[in-house]
Amino acid sequence: METGGYGIFLSWNNQEEGFRIPVNPESLEVKESGQGKTYNIVGPGGSTDETRAGEINVILSPKLKEIQFSSIFPAVEYPFVHDKATLFPPMKYVNDIRRWMETKHPIRFIFVKQYATLKKVMDNDIKKDIVIPASIESFEWKEVAGSPGDIEYSLSLKEYVFYSARKAVVRRNEFGEETVVQLPPDRPDERVRPEMYALRPGEGLWHVARLLLNDESRYREIQELNGISDVQLRRLPVGMVLRIPQN
């Protein structure tokens, strides 16, 4: 068992799936850059301490982080393989990454500076030094000639920022005046939403909307999508298969 060294982990669907990169890459490239814009101002000259003619730079929000690394998915338990207990066949790593890309959902890039098992990372039982939601921008792989089945690969990730419309409610202040208050954003939901769902005992559309859409008030959307009348709404059979909105 390894006793030191950093670890790189990838997880998907709110950590429902994931693995540790079995062989640490020789280098890990993290690109962080700004996106300032320059403009030319026409006017009288001046010092650099005041508004002046010429080129100026406007500082904007930084660009999304980009992460790139290359390594191998080994076919045998080499001495440099980390956490041999969770080593998978090379094509499992390849197929998982390809499948994650096809879902069009972000993954999690996790970097840990100390030794950590996959279980500890997935169970959040260890400090994670870097945790970034990311999209898989490119994935290139090939079988190594003359090897027992090792696969060389290069992976390029880009930071993903969760975004959604923020809800607002009308409230009265201490003077009785109506004011519009923005509610805090909902916690990002990384789970892959199923297209179909079978009702379990004790569940109604309200429960399904809260479970899968993170908003119980959206039960009406499920009702309309499945052509359920208000009368039927009160007695939905266990096992009824519902179509779930995907937006």
Looking at 108, 142, 159, which one is the last position of a domain? 159
Give the pair of three-digit tokens for residue 132: 């970034």
For position 182, what pLDDT does the model report?
64
Is 13 among the domain residues?
yes
Question: Which pLDDT does position 156 carry in this prediction?
Answer: 95
* CA terminus-to-terminus distance, the chain: 45
pLDDT of residue 66: 93
pLDDT beneath 50, residues of the chain: 1-4
Residue 115 and residue 22 in one domain: yes
Closest Cα partner for 7 from 136, 110, 133, 157? 110
Name the residue range of residue 212's domain.
193-247
| 100/11 same-domain check | yes
Q: Is residue 44 domain-resident?
A: no
Question: Is 182 inside a domain boundary?
Answer: no
pTM of the model: 0.64
For residue 99, give the 3-state DSSP assignment: helix
Residue 138: its pLDDT value, please?
95
CATH number of residue 88's parent domain: 2.40.30
127 & 17 share domain: yes
Q: Is residue 43 part of a domain?
A: no
Q: Answer for the pair 131, 67: CB distance below 8 angstroms, yes or no.
A: no
| Per-position b or e across 201-231, b if 16+ CB within 10 A of its CB | eebebeebbeebbeeeebbebbbeeeebeee
Q: Per the structure, how many domains does the chain have?
A: 2
**What's the CATH number where 237 sits?**
3.10.350.10
pLDDT score for 162: 77
pLDDT at 123: 77
Q: What is the pLDDT of residue 3?
A: 40
139 lies in the same domain as 202: no
Residue 177 lies inside a defined structural domain of this protein: no
